[in-house]
Structure 1
């Protein structure tokens, strides 16, 4: 019975597995799930969803890049079911009141599916308007870009927000394969975009009275997890 009293967090992963027109595989980015999961799991009940349900595609480049990161490798070894058997995002519409936070994991996938996913947008607005925490890291904030509240205002309007920067996208030579540049579109949306002093530096932004939490890049995933904990008073 003890678990039922824990706060509940809905982790959302992309279902998109191809990088633009390259044909190369992509998906969600390992440390951006592993680090917040590691920090939150002892304190909250975690449910994992994706637009398509089932196995959410893990970006294998992130497995290689973080093969010496203990938290990431431990997650892969011990928490495989979390991403191999995700629930369909549509199952949670109308159920925001049962959760305390929603968190969008990064990776390039969200740039292609979550950004315009009507269910994701509606669910995010539902979470926010039910007084819950909305969080996203790296490319995860793409899922928040087009979220409109019931008053017609965009969730990100006039809010301090961060996400993977144009300079970071350029440095991995993937800008030309993106459907849009996330930093640019966040600014166009009216968000007050912020970033770390240097590319790949740690940056977390807090908006909407503490209920909108965004992180810039993989290095920001752990700090973002800590901010979610604080927001949930853990």
Structure 2
């Protein structure tokens, strides 16, 4: 009888651990440190990561980071006058996460409820064409999960197709960093493999954006949530949490 009780307790402990392991959100980042093959420096956008991360952590979710190659990723666009950014910048354990991102092969899509593509110029390189990351995001989405992106992070979903062959954003409203805010005459832009806006539109998405810019503009269309620029990072994260809670994922 005693052995049966112990076995019963172990079973429920394992069950609880399994459920807890499901409360995860996956951040997609890039290993790229330059614009294309140039010497122009770029990075993942620190604010777009930490502002969303802070929302998810405080809402009870665990966050993991994946990048095309795994390992270290570059961080930039840092504003130390922002208290949340400063808080995480001074957190050595948190900053060490950027030195040890997961490779796509180490990720089990079933463990995640949502995927969040962060931006920065680095997001234009390595991520959009990575089929392993596409496969992870597809599985998360088709398992009733959420796909979200911020700013140039939307580049990461440009090639993302579902098993039915449709793009995840096809016939949906979606946004990201619009061409109107790019400086197409600058050297950095000339290294971009594509225009996010043009690619989304060409593939059947309804790309919309705020002409004012930097005004917390975001779009929710079903389980696809996208933000225009860093000012929408918190809102995108909050919308992800709200949707997960509403659909009883949490």
TM-score by length of 1: 0.90
CA distance in 2, matches of 1:168, 1:117: 26
Shift of residue 171, structure 1, vs aligned partner: 8.2
CA RMSD of aligned residues (A): 2.0
1:28 pairs with 25, 40, 44, which one? 44
Contact persistence 2:216–2:229 (CA under 8 A): yes
CA distance in 1, matches of 2:167, 2:204: 8
CA distance in 2, matches of 1:177, 1:88: 25
Contact persistence 1:167–1:199 (CA under 8 A): no
Go from structure 1 to structure 2 and tell me whether the alpha carbon gap of 1:148 and 1:44 turns closer, same or farther (over 3 Å shift): same
- Aligned equivalent of 2:190: 176
- Aligned equivalent of 2:35: 19
- Aligned equivalent of 2:204: 190
Contact persistence 1:51–1:90 (CA under 8 A): no
Shift of residue 28, structure 1, vs aligned partner: 0.6
Q: State whether structure 2 residue 230 is matched by structure 1 residue 218.
A: yes
Q: State whether structure 2 residue 78 is matched by structure 1 residue 40.
A: no
- Aligned equivalent of 1:126: 139
- Aligned equivalent of 1:109: 122
Go from structure 1 to structure 2 and tell me whether the alpha carbon gap of 1:172 and 1:202 turns closer, same or farther (over 3 Å shift): farther
Q: Secondary structure of 2:53's match?
A: helix
Q: State whether structure 2 residue 112 is matched by structure 1 residue 99.
A: yes
Number of residue pairs matched by the alignment: 226
> Which stretches in structure 1 are left out of the alignment for 5+ residues?
none
> Which stretches in structure 2 are left out of the alignment for 5+ residues?
1-12
CA distance in 2, matches of 1:199, 1:206: 17
Contact persistence 2:67–2:127 (CA under 8 A): no
Q: Secondary structure of 1:10's match?
A: strand
- Aligned equivalent of 2:148: 135
Q: State whether structure 2 residue 93 is matched by structure 1 residue 81.
A: no
- Aligned equivalent of 2:4: none
Shift of residue 81, structure 1, vs aligned partner: 2.0
- Aligned equivalent of 2:3: none
CA distance in 1, matches of 2:141, 2:97: 24
Go from structure 1 to structure 2 and tell me whether the alpha carbon gap of 1:46 and 1:172 turns closer, same or farther (over 3 Å shift): farther
Contact persistence 2:30–2:126 (CA under 8 A): yes
Shift of residue 21, structure 1, vs aligned partner: 4.2
Larger Rg: 2
TM-score by length of 2: 0.84
CA distance in 1, matches of 2:177, 2:99: 25
CA distance in 1, matches of 2:181, 2:98: 26
CA distance in 2, matches of 1:178, 1:107: 12
Shift of residue 156, structure 1, vs aligned partner: 1.2
